[in-house]
Structure 1
Amino acid sequence: MIASTVALLACSPGARQKAEQVLLNELERGGSPSVQYFVFNRREVLYTFRQGMASIEAQQPAASRTSYNLYSITKTVTALAVLRLAEQGRVRLDAPVKEYLPSTPLPAEVTVRHLLSHTSGISDPIPLSWIHLASAHKRFRADDFFQPILLSRSEPKFRSGEKFRYSNLGYLVLGQLIGSVSGMTYEEYVKRHVLERLAIAPEALSFWIQGSGRHATGYHRRWSFSSLLLSLFLDKEQYMGKAVGAWRPFRPLYVNGAAYGGLVGTPEGLIRYLQEYLRPESQIITTATKEQLFTETEDASGKPTGMCLSWFTGTLNGVRYYTHAGGGGGYYVEVRLYPEQGLGTLVMFNRTGMRDERFLDRVDTFFLSKAN
């Protein structure tokens, strides 16, 4: 009954009109060159909004086949891969990471679960500069880049498990663990055991930027405080092209660590992945493991951290949700799941995002039935 009610709400002209006004206002105020927004259930897309340009220079509109750098959305896939290995008895979540990566500089008390829940205590420098151009991708070696960073940042800032502190480095190590345990590269394991099992084509979701004309150009506003901030972290002449009006484009780029932010995908590919979590039975993990994935963790004092195993949690209109944002140079994406209503949402921008904006609060509210 709840699912059918949600479907009716998603088809409601009133809901569409209110959501579209918020999204159009975002474009009209110059919030992004383009925006794509979707409401879906486990079987189909219930509502789509798509406006603006994937490439201002080429006057190329955003389309269903347009791909984006998904940045930290990748962490949800990394966690899923770790839990699949755990189900197979190849990884124990409460075992020390050193059991699987003996050479890691992390202390012995840091467990796999600590990394998954961002409670390891490992600090994290701002990762805006941890990028390389697509033209350099084939010769880039992530381990060489991160080895000195891990050595200098491996000492926890607090006792592992004591409290929550977000860490890209923690998920980088999880990617190394997946590679070590599986005998494959992290990317190959995810491709074979997650994406291919869900029948998601490489051009829809993968770790590679697809051919010319398919990938959205990422932009940053020229006249903004964040533009000045960006100058402190990277060489704009190397990573960005000439300004186009109010925007300056990024050249195609990758993050240096695939496991914390390397996925590239289209709306269709990302939605197909997200729909897997809304189905009663997953093709990747068991129902019991999925419940474990979405159980909120607690700190040492018993206080909820707002974080499950890779997924943040919250409520909107009294309805519980699980969410993650992916942001960095040129792109910002948010995904959200409302399991109690059998509903998911997605918003994609081709402009820089530097924090979790919870933008979906502003539009999802029109599509949710009120919790009792």
Structure 2
Amino acid sequence: MEYNFLLITVFLLAFGSCKEKDLKSIVGDNLPDIQMTTTDQILNYEIENGSSPSIQYFFFDQHKIIDSFQKGFSDVGGQKKVDANTTYHVLSVTKTFTAIATLQLVERGLLELEKPVIHYLPHFQYGSEITVKQLLNHTSGIPNPIPLSWIHLESEDQSFDRNSFFDLIIEKNKKVKSKPNEKFAYSNLGYVILGQLIEKVSGKTFEDYIIENIVRKLPISQDDLAFSISNSHDHAKGYHKKISFSNLILGLFINKSKFMGENEGKWKPFKNYYVNGAPYGGLIGKPSAFVSYVQELMNENSSLISEKSKTMMFQENKNNPNTGMCLGWFSGELNGVKYFAHAGGGGGYYCEIRIYPKINRGSVIFFNRTGMSDERYLDKIDRFYI
């Protein structure tokens, strides 16, 4: 993820986010005096050094897994190891699904990217100039209030009213921060509005649309990827480091006694929760499901999206400075090879997915520890194969 300076400062204080200089302590300057030459060495060190209770990593082509790593605990207190059935919150990786859903509706003639949002949502509060495309590439100027408290317990889900919750959030944050397409500014709230847009033009709930038009087109079972925890026994607990400055001030953002359990060794666990806004961060699933998702996007005859729309989705918006932001995806380059990626992070979880279209390769990595910034962690692992 990318945030403005104020939000980065707050997140670093609140969650100990990992930016470039901090990443050196993960696999750089503080490593023992050995040459780390394999993915297993680096990822094993992460586990042994206590950087995450568990890690799952996959590198693959369009048809098969090339390398994988699965190690650690999904439940530290119960000493339950991760396996192929372990599920994780993927948080902002969900935005890539929201982007594909939007482009599917464009293909069907139900949406136009360059049309103002207010054309579809008459009660849209941010003016008549913001377009659908600007919501997708985070140039709408819509604010991004800190979303750390935008969660509710699994037990509260039946009574949670998403629309009422976000009506209040929008009312409190109804002034734009910049003019449309003036600059890049990451906005979870912008993707909440995209979810409302998808619901309005499709006639389905956001969750039902994603399941019917994306998830069910993948070669996975219904429990592999969803907007709810299919099996609590297989769901990885999310953890935050107990002894950390960020843990001391976490209570400024969430009710720790409500959302977190008793200490488990060096870790403080989150209770099972859901993100309030499904369109920006609600998906939960197995790493293997996201392997299948990226593999399907590699397919020239993808069932998810046409080649024309895929090209549009991966087209960078040239801001000044250039952020590498496309439609729901970030772009980057590793050893001269272009990739498109998205990270997902929040309380107790961090993950990344990535696709290298020119060489038909992809990768995913999942942690059940807090992460809030786009760490580009896959740069450190994928470099062995790129």
Q: Same fold (TM over 0.5)?
A: yes
Instruction: Pick from 339, 348, 351 the counterpart of residue 369 of structure 2.
Output: 351
Residues 220-277 of structure 1: CA deviation (Å, up to 9, x unaligned): 0001122124221001100000001100111000000000000000011111111111
CA contact (8 A) 2:90 2:350 kept: yes
Contact 1:204 1:270 in 2 (8 A): no
Whether the 8 Å contact between 2:58 and 2:68 is mirrored in structure 1 is yes
Cα offsets for 1:270-297 (capped at 9, x unmatched): 1111111111121122101100000001
Paired residue for 2:357?
339
Q: CA deviation at 1:147?
A: 0.5
Q: Report deviation, 1:354.
A: 1.4
What's 1:139 paired with? 159
Give the conservation status (yes or no) of the 8 Å contact 2:297–2:304: no
> Out of 87, 90, 94, which is 1:67 matched to?
87
Cα deviation per residue 1:44-63 (whole Å; 9 max; x = unaligned)? 11111011001112211011
In 1, the alpha carbon distance for the partners of 2:80 and 2:50 equals 17
Query: Secondary structure at 1:77's aligned position in 2?
Result: helix
Letter in 2 for 1:34: S
Listed as ranges, the matches of 1:184-223 within 5 Å are: 184-223=204-243
What is the alpha-carbon root mean square deviation over aligned residues?
A: 1.4
Q: Could you say what secondary structure the match of 1:355 adopts?
A: coil
Is 1:160 equivalent to 2:180 in the alignment?
yes
Structure 1 residue aligned with 2:323? 305
The aligned runs of 1:108-257 (5 Å cut-off) are: 108-257=128-277
- Quote the Cα distance in structure 1 between the aligned partners of 2:236 and 2:186: 28
The answer to whether residue 61 in structure 2 is matched with residue 41 in structure 1 is yes
- Structure 2: state its 5+ residue gaps: 1-35
| Residue number in structure 2 paired with 1:318 | 336
1:290 matched residue in structure 2? 310
**Quick check: 1:366 aligned with 2:381?**
no
Superposed displacement of residue 17, structure 1 = 5.5
Q: What is the distance in 1 between the residues matched to 2:328 and 2:75?
A: 32
Q: TM-score, normalised by structure 2?
A: 0.89
C-alpha distance in structure 1 between counterparts of 2:250 and 2:359, whole Å: 40
Residue 43 of structure 2: aligned partner: 23
User: Could you say what secondary structure the match of 2:343 adopts?
Assistant: strand
User: Secondary structure in 2 aligned to 1:348?
Assistant: strand
* SS class of match (1:126): coil
**CA-to-aligned-CA distance 1:178-221 (integer Å, 9 cap, x gap):** 00101110000111111112243221111011123110011100
CA displacement, residues 272-326 of structure 1 (integer Å, 9 cap, x when unaligned): 1111111112112210110000000123x6x533100010011111111111000
- Match of 1:104, SS state, is coil
CA contact (8 A) 2:77 2:265 kept: no
User: Contact 2:329 / 2:342 at 8 angstroms: preserved in 1?
Assistant: yes
Whole-angstrom distance in 1 between the partners of 2:290 and 2:241? 26
Deviations 1:97-144 (A, max 9, x none): 111111121211111000000000111012111000001011101111
Paired residue secondary structure (2:43): helix
Output the CA distance in 1 between the equivalents of 2:172 and 2:253: 19
Match of 1:13 in 2: none
Amino acid at match of 2:239: Y
- What's the % identity of the aligned pairs? 46
Aligned partners of 2:335, 2:219: CA distance in 1, in Å? 34
Distance 2:350 2:107 in 1: 32
Which residue matches 2:287? 267
Q: Distance in 2 between matches of 1:248 and 1:164?
A: 34
Structure 1 contact 94–111 (Cα < 8 Å) conserved:
yes
- Partner of 2:232, secondary structure, is coil
Offset, 1:25? 1.2
Given residue 53 of structure 1, which amino acid in structure 2 is its aligned partner? F
